[in-house]
């Protein structure tokens, strides 16, 4: 499902952009204490990150995305042939 991977990538990119917008707002802010947009930008970053995580969990639960096999002795459920070290 290419559209799902694209959506996850776009949400991740939006989270990164929002993170840098928060950094820019933090660097521009003065010491007077007025709202500089840092909290707003970081709130959007959290929203985008939660959306990415939720979408990945939903898609794994629905079977749209399948996690990789993490067992080092099996590949697609078949044992990997391992050579024995020479004595």
pLDDT at 31: 59
pLDDT at 28: 81
- Token couple for 31: 């010491």
Tell me the pLDDT tens digit for each residue of 48-81.
999 999 999 999 899 888 877 666 777 777 777 7
**Helix 2-28 vs helix 38-62: crossing angle, to nearest 10:** 160
pLDDT at 10: 95
Tell me the pLDDT tens digit for each residue of 3-49.
888 999 999 999 999 999 988 888 887 656 666 688 888 899 999 99
Contacts of 18 (CB under 8 A, 6+ apart): 41, 42, 44, 45, 48
For the question of whether the overall pTM of this predicted structure is more than 0.75, the answer is no
Task: Please report, for the chain, the start and end positions of each structural domain, with discontinuous segments joined by +.
Answer: 2-28+36-64
């Amino acid at each position: 499902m290419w559209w799902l991977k694209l959506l996850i990538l776009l949400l991740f990119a939006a989270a990164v952009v929002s993170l840098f917008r928060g950094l820019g707002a933090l660097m521009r802010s003065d010491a007077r204490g007025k709202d500089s947009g840092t909290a707003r930008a970081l709130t959007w970053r959290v929203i985008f990150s939660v959306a990415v995580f939720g979408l990945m969990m939903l898609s794994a639960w629905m079977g749209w995305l399948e996690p990789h096999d993490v067992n080092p002795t099996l590949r697609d459920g078949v044992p990997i042939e391992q050579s024995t070290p020479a004595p």
